Structure 1
Amino acid sequence: MTDETSSSSTYLRRLGVWSGAAIVIGGVIGSGIFRTPATVAERTASGLPLLALWALGGLLTLAGVLCYAELGARRPQAGGIYLYLREAFGALPAFLFGWTMALINYPGSVAAVAVTFADYTCRAMSLPALWVKPVAVGAIFFIVGVNLFGIRAGALLVNVFTLLKLAAIAMLLIVGLVLAHGHFGGVLAIDATHQVSGGAWIGALLPVLFTYGGFHYLNDMAGEVRDPQRNLPRALTLGLVGVALCYVLANLAYLVGLGHAGLAASKAPAADLMSSIFGPRGATIMAIGIACSTFGYCSIAVAGGARVLQTMGADGFFFRAVGQIDTRWRSPQVGLAVLGIWAIVLIITGTFDQLVNFTTVGEWLGHAFGIATLFWYRRQFGAKSSPFRVPLYPILPFVFVCTVLGVIIATVIDTPRDAGMSLVIIALGVPVYAIWRRWPRQQAGA
């Protein structure tokens, strides 16, 4: 449908390939690449395995992205994993995913990253720490306000801040590979200060995979992608390949500029690399870059999460008002307001970090079951019903599901308390589901 002939109660398809790719890049690249490489360096013995882990993480994530590309091409509507679970496995699994993500993880992530944005902004502007929460709240107000005016306004905001975060990474590359006067031979040298076992690779791969997370947001907004059967797979693939390239090159820049031992010892490698050339100004410049990167992520998470809420509301599993789409701007305005207000409450109360930790296992379970729906779609409708098909099926979806299950097991072993709370939160969704099942009947009988 064109914009002119589409119903006023539906979204408008205004996202092209480049805007879609910007959403993928912006949803994946937050603050992780500016800090996580130091953790990975601690768990590796040289630059070669470190770079290999980042390349491997990109390949494993690409397997998931290709699966999401087929799912999005099959069902190019708003809602993402929630929609796939509802069709394949029924209303209860879909609700439990939406309950965990749209009502807890999404606003918790928005709150956490907004605080990170505010922290770096205050550092760059030399503001006292007491300004962090007000700046974070102001950022969410601004992001929600822009997205109220539809996907074009939201996409413009995302595009601008995606370019800014890519500029920050480009600056890292120039400093590390050119200005720092390091040597590439040191990348392959063994770091005698770090003796690690073969099993440490698993522990090093885990933060890499977490840093690659966030590629699913475009599927949440699939109802606004033009010619989605063609453009959505292209945008997903282009965006993830761009992210992987940025990640590998950024780590190469860290290794050349700081050396493996320097990277492993750093608490803030991006700031340390910039400071090595520009002094304190370098740290300030990088703080601005990280602030731009995290702000862009917040905008994407708010837009994607609100559309999952809207889909749930339209299905009758949340307040009906949340399921409405504004007839003028074609945006889920009530959903945006609900998610934004809840994120602000989490910032003010300071409970967002724990909530995000508590829902990590639920998020990865959602990814595992979401990809598993592809097997159901293939069995029900066959390969020919989709204009895009995952190559090497069923190997790639099987590899990604196994990878996700491995992440879940490692998370349970590493943080059993948080994993247990995640399962409790999911279980609490069952009685809530029962209440919302009865809610329409109660309204009808009123």
Structure 2
Amino acid sequence: MSETGKTGYARRLGVFDATMVVVGGIIGAGIFLNPAAVASRTESAGMTTLAWGVGGLFALAGAFIFAELGARRPQAGGGYVYLREAFGPLVAFLFGWIMLLVNYSGSIAAVATMFATYACRLAGLPDNTNLVPPVAVGAIVLLAGINYYGIRAGALVQNVFTVLKLAAVVAVVVAGLALTGVGDGANVGRALDTQANFGNAMLPVLFAYSGWSYINNIAGEIRDPQRSIPRALVLGMLACTACYLVANFAYLHALGHAGLAASTAPAAELMQRAFGPTGANLIAAGIAISTFGFCNIALLSGARVFQVMGADGVFFRGAAHIHEKHRSPDIALFGLAGWAVILTLSGTYGQLLDYATVGDWIGAAMVGATLFYYRRREGADGVFRAPGFPLLPVAFIAAVGWVVASSAIAKPRDTLIGLAIIAAGVPVYYAWRRFGVRA
């Protein structure tokens, strides 16, 4: 039961599996660390809560848009496919170029390094141990090996680690609520302050909510995709928003706004206060679990994009290969893992991710804009429809534009380098099309 004879993917995932991909792709280490950054940029508990609520609405808008796109084109490749059909192969290639060179690979490298740091900490080793890089590489290689055996193997890992990371979130919430009277949680609902700094506070919020598009990359392996993809995206996004709001309420309840803003690791602080050294070890394990699960999603999802690019002839032809038995994009999978390993060992992934931020968000806006193309060409009958069209995609694109502008103002040098990386993909695209790399 394959997606098409061309790709040979098999539809083996149900709604629960797809929902776990959505939740696991969004909730990472950020829920344990980012709330402090948001609180430090706001002036009250109410404003902090508002920021996370607004971020949830923005992410839900994006989920609705991607739900309709996934239902219209339930095949591997996600945003690359939508951009190729709506705006042509060059735009699609540039999207894939930045994803391959930096975003997927850099994210895997960065998060694998974080996993290794917390894993070593659990083993009683200091944070500066030289074992962190080899442990990170080992995690990437292990996950690539698991995903080689197909989407069911990767999904099983994802389901287990997503449930475990949700359990870690529950533990943090319980710890925060148990510390009664420590902070100013009673003031969460007070009158909201008006401040220009709110936009700056929204940046880490929106980054924490990103990741819902991973499911679209594996749409060719989801059963009954016209129904399953929208359900998974909406359910997953609502679950993530609830987790973020409840977790932040717990942080504010226990630490207060000032305490949260001053904390470098709020989840660890809560668990340490509530349960002592055992709590600190539990949250370290929770972060390790969460980061390991994210690496798994990025590998299994990103490899599908590069497989489709290989089939289109704008990437190594060998990357188009699908394993006959396991139905996995084995060559693309190991290629992505290999590049992530190189970035991990080089230590350059952090700076690369800073450079690629603008390209990532521009890509999100472009993918959102493809909905206008599909509505104009195919109408709105017979598929899941994102509500509020055309206002919803317009608002989404405008919000993304605001994020890009804010990032450019905050880091103009990184923005220019990021645009240069995107521009460098243009001659690469034409060289690939002309010389037909067959490797």
TM-score between the two structures when normalised by the length of structure 2: 0.96
Match of 1:436 in 2: 432
228, 239, 242: which one aligns with 2:239? 242
The amino acid that maps onto 1:35 is: L
CA RMSD of superposed structures (Å):
1.7
Deviation at 1:104, TM superposition (A): 2.2
The amino acid that maps onto 1:402 is: A
Deviation at 1:258, TM superposition (A): 1.0
The 5 Å alignment of 1:409-424 reads 409-424=405-420
Q: Which runs of 5+ in 2 are unaligned?
A: none
Match of 2:38 in 1: 40
> Are 2:268 and 1:271 aligned?
yes
Match of 1:137 in 2: 137
Match of 2:175 in 1: 175
What secondary structure does 1:359 align onto? Answer: helix
The 5 Å alignment of 1:146-185 reads 146-180=146-180, 182=182, 184-185=185-186
Match of 1:397 in 2: 393
Match of 1:117 in 2: 115
Give yes or no for contact 1:180–1:276 (8 Å, CA) kept in 2: no
Match of 1:262 in 2: 259
Residues 313-347 of structure 1: per-residue CA shift (max 9 Å, x gap):
00000111101111110000000100001100111
Give yes or no for contact 1:180–1:277 (8 Å, CA) kept in 2: no
What secondary structure does 2:65 align onto? Answer: helix
Match of 2:330 in 1: 333
18, 21, 24: which one aligns with 1:20? 18
Q: Per the alignment, do residues 222 and 125 of structure 1 end up closer, same or farther by CA in structure 2, a change over 3 Å counting? A: same
Match of 2:208 in 1: 211
305, 308, 313: which one aligns with 2:305? 308
Give yes or no for contact 1:10–1:330 (8 Å, CA) kept in 2: yes
Separation (CA, whole Å) in 1 of partners of 2:224 and 2:325: 22
Separation (CA, whole Å) in 1 of partners of 2:178 and 2:387: 38
Separation (CA, whole Å) in 1 of partners of 2:81 and 2:117: 35
Deviation at 1:179, TM superposition (A): 4.8
Give yes or no for contact 2:46–2:187 (8 Å, CA) kept in 1: no
The amino acid that maps onto 1:406 is: W
Separation (CA, whole Å) in 1 of partners of 2:12 and 2:6: 14
Separation (CA, whole Å) in 2 of partners of 1:373 and 1:190: 39
Give yes or no for contact 1:80–1:216 (8 Å, CA) kept in 2: yes
What secondary structure does 1:383 align onto? Answer: coil
What secondary structure does 1:205 align onto? Answer: helix
Identity %: 53
Deviation at 1:186, TM superposition (A): 4.0
Give yes or no for contact 1:9–1:326 (8 Å, CA) kept in 2: no
What secondary structure does 2:401 align onto? Answer: helix
Separation (CA, whole Å) in 2 of partners of 1:35 and 1:324: 39
Match of 2:125 in 1: 127
Give yes or no for contact 1:206–1:407 (8 Å, CA) kept in 2: yes
Residues 235-272 of structure 1: per-residue CA shift (max 9 Å, x gap):
01111110000000000000111111110110110001
Residues 293-317 of structure 1: per-residue CA shift (max 9 Å, x gap):
0110000001111000001000000
Separation (CA, whole Å) in 2 of partners of 1:435 and 1:361: 25
The 5 Å alignment of 1:282-301 reads 282-301=279-298
Match of 1:66 in 2: 64
Q: Which runs of 5+ in 1 are unaligned?
A: none
The amino acid that maps onto 1:87 is: E
Separation (CA, whole Å) in 1 of partners of 2:190 and 2:152: 49
Q: Per the alignment, do residues 430 and 6 of structure 1 end up closer, same or farther by CA in structure 2, a change over 3 Å counting? A: closer
The amino acid that maps onto 1:17 is: V
What secondary structure does 2:74 align onto? Answer: coil
> Are 2:12 and 1:11 aligned?
no
Separation (CA, whole Å) in 1 of partners of 2:252 and 2:102: 37
Give yes or no for contact 2:45–2:185 (8 Å, CA) kept in 1: no
Separation (CA, whole Å) in 2 of partners of 1:382 and 1:6: 24
Give yes or no for contact 1:53–1:205 (8 Å, CA) kept in 2: yes
Residues 424-443 of structure 1: per-residue CA shift (max 9 Å, x gap):
00000010001111133x87
Match of 1:426 in 2: 422
Comparing 38-47 and 139-148, the one that deviates more:
38-47
Match of 1:90 in 2: 88
What secondary structure does 2:157 align onto? Answer: helix
Comparing 255-264 and 89-98, the one that deviates more:
255-264
TM-score between the two structures when normalised by the length of structure 1: 0.95
Match of 2:403 in 1: 407
Deviation at 1:281, TM superposition (A): 2.6
Deviation at 1:279, TM superposition (A): 2.2
Separation (CA, whole Å) in 2 of partners of 1:293 and 1:378: 37
Paired residue total: 435
